[in-house]
Structure 1
Amino acid sequence: MTGHPGRPSWDEARAIAAVAGSALPRERVALDAAIGRRLAVDLVTPIDLPHFASAAMDGWLVAGDGPWRLVDSDPGRGQAAPIVTGALVAADAFAVLRSESGEVAGGMLRSTVAGEPRPGHHIRHPGTEALTGERLIAAGALLNPAHVALAAATGADDLLVAAVPSVALVFTGDEVVTSGVPGPGRVRDSFAVQLPALIGMLGGRVTGTARVPDRLEDTVAALRDADAALIVTTGGTGTSSADHLRDALRALGARLLVDGVAMRPGGPTRIAELPDGRLVAALPGNPLAAMVSAITLVEPLLAGLAGRPPAPTHPAGDAEVEGRAGTTVLVPYSEVDGRPVVARWRGAAMLRGLAAATGILIVPPNSPAQSLPLPWHTNER
């Protein structure tokens, strides 16, 4: 099978998607809301960490060699005072004797462990973790709980993070049922149950959904009224009497950036820009075709809106699937003994192969195969 004349290659479509939209404004959010967000600028500590000398153990702050006479505070040479973990000590303090290594009798403290304490023992000195001006977290990092705890230690109350693009979902299809076993001529909705989570894994946030019948006016209204930076539609991308996506985009004055892609499955995928700047990713109605299109083409749209590069592809080694003249083949695969093994179930309407896969194999017509990990098998997206 040859490719469709005039359709961009998968690589070209992906490159177009990555620059289709301008980066959305960054946001400043409280630390507890920053987990899972992407840091927009380097986190540089304005203070030493720790920023003062402190006890690392409960016990006694001792001065000089023992035994030590107990005092309430500020021990001089030959003296010791009780201290708790984290308490401030003088920068030139001698040592802390931990509580399990000492005993008190007759107002005197003695060490019960030979060699304890050494000078500086169990004292946290300033700057041992980081010095003022040191970069602690690089811009672009996907923030985790440890990151925000570290930011709090520097005195930060909030962080500047990249935007999470808003996404509106528009589902089309008169034949779709939303629950139970579908009857003859009907199909079960496989998009509403997974696309919101998938969009989240790809870096977006679903803010609205609409389900429309196969009528042009309803499709136009759904696209017109969707309030999001990116609108993702399913179905209606073909040329039959029930497919109205392309006509709806034309009616709204949209500019088609990608009018189909020379790839299989997912060839009818379209990317458009509405006059007000909102982007549209129109996915095919077949489940596997829609999902591989979302993972490989919606992801770079979201990346561009968030101001980051798309997820990188990786060399795939010896692929067990042949390319097609003029067409990039995309198939679910798993890695076995270091080799990509393609799924048996890889028809455009089949999900069984993708459910068991770890990545998508990208086989161009005249280039070595590449791969993308599935977003639920990586922590990078």
Structure 2
Amino acid sequence: MTTSDNISSCISEHEAQALSVGAAQAILRRWAQPVTTVERLALRSCLDRVLAEDVVSPIDVPAHDNAAMDGYAFAGAVLAETTAGTQGPGDATQLALDVAGRALAGHPFTGALAARQCVRIMTGAPMPAGCDTVVPQELVTRSGERIVFDARGLERGANRRRAGEDLARGCLALHAGRIMRASDIGLLASLGIAEVAVRRRLRVAFFSTGDELRSIGEPLDTGCVYDSNRYTLWAMLTRLNVEVLDLGVVRDDPAALVTAFRSAAQCADAVLSSGGVSVGEADFTRRTLETLGDVAFWQLAMRPGRPFAFGRVWPDGQQGRERDERAALYFGLPGNPVAVMATFYQIVRGALLSMSGADAPAPLQLAASATAPIKKRPGRTEYLRGIASREHDGSWRVTPTRSQSSGVLSSMSEANCFIILAHQQGDIVAGDSVDIMPFEGLI
């Protein structure tokens, strides 16, 4: 894909007026190309990093057949001969074995076993030569160096973990694109792998726009507000483990915006701004971006979050040339704080993960029963803040928060999920099933 493929050609003029969420996500998937730089890091530095290469197991895990529980290991062929081991008249299911030694994890039994001998074995200990079955210790009666147990229900090979049962040598352990979690770190350690190849961290620059914004610590003049969006964006970006570049607050001034965009595009793979993408008289961001980059769309059929811009920015502002690898993708988020969070999680987050090279699953969605009626106009996707709870029968119920205003950030802290109302969905009556997206693991 080259720069000459004008990004605006992705959509029709009609769609550009209010692009559906699904169409916007499709455009972003097309243009969100992963970073290509790869680095090798020590295992303890790889948490939340994106694997750049498949990892193949160099060994069998476990390395040997071993006991799945504490008990006694023996050759299972003797189970078919229980009549020869009868311990008492008429009882042909009792099997008697002599104990020849013991095996512990890290201390295997290395001797040879005669017929009808067994080894006391602990969980994880290697199976002695010739043994393929473990009888659990709680099923055994031991007297001196002899055990007796009822062989009924015990099959040959029971309670044995085979070599390579977890991972066999040469098998895929982790695939490229995986975001490394704690279990993955432990898995690679179990394979003896000390370092892996990961993609470099995505660099994301962001700033807020607006003459009314003040940073924490500054006095609030009449009509001014503290800038919460930069702190929200910083937190959401940090959760994605990207390199975060905070460019502060940019005033509603064309020259200042040009400087901010060029500076951001010079140092980052993606640029995020909040505010200044609607059609108000003081919204210079839109007009400035049109001179510095290539714009795909300005509006979404989404609530909250209708004013949303997506495009590309070049450090020198030039257009119409072969693609410059320095071009940064631009995401212009709304100014209202809830709209910032909604558009980030529904639109921006997936694109940034793709740019990081991550093969990440879509956020979890569940079906829940609405506890109250909800007004909904077809033709846009709505993301309401909701409070979900699980009932005794395992079903979910959800109630919208008291305020759904896009300026009430406290409603995001009060809620524990998004209530998702689809593009063509209409009014909801109490008891209707709706989709919810839990915040846990997302926000």
Q: Distance in 2 between matches of 1:316 and 1:121?
A: 41
> Secondary structure at 1:302's aligned position in 2?
helix
Cα distance per residue 1:48-100 (max 9 Å; x no partner):
12224689999xx99xx867799xx965669xxxx99989897558999xxxx
Residues 335-346 of structure 1 mapped to structure 2, 5 A cutoff:
335-336=388-389, 337=391, 338-346=396-404
| 1:214 counterpart SS class | coil
**Counterpart residue number, 1:34:** 46
Q: Secondary structure at the match of 1:192?
A: helix
Q: Is the contact between residue 45 and residue 154 of structure 1 (CA under 8 Å) also seen in structure 2?
A: yes
Q: 1:271 to 1:95 in 2, by over 3 A?
A: closer
Q: Tell me, yes or no, if structure 1 residue 324 matches structure 2 residue 335.
A: no
Alignment map for 1:111-150 (pairs within 5 Å): 111=145, 126-138=163-175, 140-150=177-187
Q: Is the 8 A contact 2:366 2:436 kept in 1?
A: no
Q: Report the equivalent of 1:236.
A: 276
TM-score normalised over the length of structure 1: 0.76
Identical aligned pairs, as a percentage?
27
Structure 1 residues 327 and 68 mapped into 2: Cα distance closer, same or farther (>3 Å)? closer
For 1:20, the aligned partner's letter is: W
Among 201, 207, 220, which residue is 1:170 paired with?
207
Matched, 1:259 2:298: yes
Q: Match of 1:353, as an amino acid?
A: S
Runs of 5+ consecutive residues of structure 1 not aligned to the other structure: 97-109
Structure 1 residue 249 displacement after superposition:
0.9
| 2:76 aligned with 1:12 | no
Report the alpha carbon displacement of residue 113 of structure 1 after superposing the two structures with TM. 7.6
CA contact (8 A) 2:269 2:328 kept: yes
Aligned pairs for 1:68-217 (under 5 A) are 75=111, 91-92=129-130, 111=145, 126-138=163-175, 140-161=177-198, 164-179=201-216, 182=220, 184-201=222-239, 203=240, 205-211=242-248, 212-217=250-255
2:413 alignment partner AA: A
SS of corresponding position for 1:127: coil
Deviation, structure 1 residue 36: 2.0
Q: 215-224 or 168-177: which moved more? A: 168-177
Q: Name the amino acid aligned to 1:340.
A: V
TM-score (ref. length: structure 2): 0.66
Distance 2:190 2:335 in 1: 49
1:373 aligns with 2:437: yes
Q: Rate the CA distance shift 1:300–1:372 in 2: closer, same or farther, 3 A.
A: farther
Q: Give the superposition deviation at 1:129.
A: 3.4
Aligned residue pairs, count:
368
C-alpha distance 112-267 of structure 1, shift in aligned 2 (>3 A): same
What residue identity is the alignment partner of 2:48?
Answer: G
Relative distance call for 1:112 and 1:339 in structure 2 (3 A) is: same
Aligned partner of residue 269 in structure 1, secondary structure:
strand
Question: Which is further off, 177-186 or 329-338?
Answer: 177-186
Please name the residue that 1:272 is paired with: 311
Rounded Cα–Cα distance in structure 2 between residues aligned with 1:185 and 1:11:
37
What displacement does 1:40 show? 4.9
Give me the whole-angstrom Cα distance separating, in 1, the residues matched to 2:307 and 2:387. Answer: 26
Aligned residue in 2 for 1:45: 57
Displacement after TM superposition at 1:272 (Å): 1.2
C-alpha deviation, 1:187, in angstroms:
0.8
Check whether the contact 2:378–2:425 (CA below 8 A) recurs between aligned residues. Answer: no
SS in 2 for 1:354: helix
Number of the residue aligned with 1:300: 350
How far is 1:191 from its partner? 2.1
How far off its partner does 1:218 sit?
1.2
Say which SS state the counterpart of residue 207 (structure 1) adopts: strand
- Which stretch shifts more, 313-322 or 337-346? 313-322
State the Cα RMSD in Å.
4.5
CA shift, 1:127, in A, is 3.0
Q: Deviations over 1:173-216 (max 9, x none)?
A: 23222226845312122123222221233x35143111222211
